[in-house]
Amino acid sequence: MDQIIVTGNGELSGEIPIAGAKNACLALMPATLLSEEPLTLTNAPRLSDIKTMTELLQSLGAEVTSLQDGQVLAMSSHDLTSHVADYDIVRKMRASNLVLGPMLARLGHAVVSLPGGCAIGARPMDLHIHGLEALGAEIELRDGYLHAKAPQGLKGATVEFSFASVGATENVLMAATLAKGTTVLKNAAREPEIVDLATCLRKMGARIEGDGTSEITIEGVDRLSGATHPVVADRIELGTYMLAPAIAGGTVECLGGRLDLVGAFVEKLDAAGIGVEETERGLKVARRNGRIRAVDVTTEPFPGFPTDLQAQMMALLCTAEGTSVLEEKIFENRFMHAPELVRMGAKIDVHGGTATVTGVDRLKGAPVMATDLRASVSLILAGLAAEGETVLSRVYHLDRGYEQLVRKLKGVGARIERIKGQ
């Protein structure tokens, strides 16, 4: 099994290009199921999760062609041959459940396995089911599969989510584009990935208003057409690489970065003593003066602090001056990286959904193990400023969310290598 070896060696300098957003692309790809005409995505990230979604769509009869070294995805669902999303594919990635709404809307029926993904806590399908049932779907769970049908077709309705779930908002939003009448989604997720999906659906002929707010209105149409759409920049990759010079020192410009994607995150960086400057090409990041200051962080749905940057932020705060408190309000079991950081000399005390981090002068390299996608990269960030060598095992998690991570960090001066397993 592959390993990544990081040796702390001082300041970083240079540029890092930010890829298209994984979470946006994984919602945009199933949108092809809504139309018989081609959908082309540009600025697609080159990740294993994208390959998994490609495999899933192809298993349903969709055509997916990867062009320009994987950065363009040309898709067509003119001749779907199956309505069953099989467990063997779906188990690899939670976002696979996003084929449910589009298939139900276009075909009138779908069978989708319960999903898999990172083991970071319960992420139930209840909100997806609630929303689709409100549109007239009949859904039954049998043998680990959701059997869904809409014998009378989907009909517009008011759907109020008990939690602003990104996945449920995306699934019901896509289904509602072909439902008869008006659908109103209340307490909808506001993430940039939702806005990106709505923008693409409008290009396909959908009638959507209010995306980016907590109330989205969709007027159903009879059919959707094809479109070409660029995937929005990945705000989680952006935030991750912004933390690299914050932890190791130096100055890095993140090409394609936008402040509106990471507002709450930048506020915490500012409080910690990290400067972020908007440039013509992206965002330039550098530590201001001296040691990082402790800050408290609470994860929240967008526009709050992203749960997907909590682990990386913890890595920064391990060497901050003072004590920081991180409260995880989105997913339970999302402090699995804490014991690994402790192996590197961090002082972290976890109680339920709260982690208290007391800054130390310096971390030390150690053998550590990745437990999930974001935990993996937090350990690499910590290794950038640690004394000696940090050896990260189970790095396959990284391939799901970061394209060419080793090359990008090497490009700004990091000493990092990926060693192939036997």
Residues catalogued as catalytic: 118
Q: Are 85 and 60 in contact (CB under 8 A)?
A: yes
The answer to the question of whether 80 is labelled as a binding residue is no
Is residue 32 helix, strand or coil?
helix
DSSP string, 329-359: -S-SS--TTHHHHHHTT-EEEEETTEEEEE-
The answer to the question of whether 2 is labelled as a binding residue is no
User: For residue 405, which of 262, 188, 210, 240 has the smallest C-alpha distance?
Assistant: 240
* Residue 24 structure tokens: 């946006």
Say how far apart CA 164 and CA 167 lie, in whole Å: 9
Q: Are 400 and 373 in contact (CB under 8 A)?
A: yes
The answer to the question of whether 92 is labelled as a binding residue is no
Q: Quote the DSSP letter at residue 167.
A: H
The answer to the question of whether 126 is labelled as a binding residue is yes
**Burial class for 142, CB neighbours closer than 10 Å (0-12, 13-18, 19+):** exposed
Q: Are strands 282-287 and 297-298 parallel, antiparallel or unpaired?
A: unpaired
| Single-letter residue type at 74 | A
The answer to the question of whether 125 is labelled as a binding residue is yes
User: For residue 340, which of 287, 293, 301, 393 has the smallest C-alpha distance?
Assistant: 393
The answer to the question of whether 127 is labelled as a binding residue is yes
The partner residues of 211 in beta bridges, in order of sequence, read: 213
The answer to the question of whether 91 is labelled as a binding residue is no
Cα angle for residues 278, 242, 12 (degrees, 5° grid) = 105
The answer to the question of whether 362 is labelled as a binding residue is no
| Single-letter residue type at 396 | Y
* Residue 248 structure tokens: 């190791």
* Residue 280 structure tokens: 């013509």
| Single-letter residue type at 267 | E
Residues making up the binding site: 22-23, 94, 123-127, 308, 330
Residues making up the binding site for phosphoenolpyruvate: 22-23
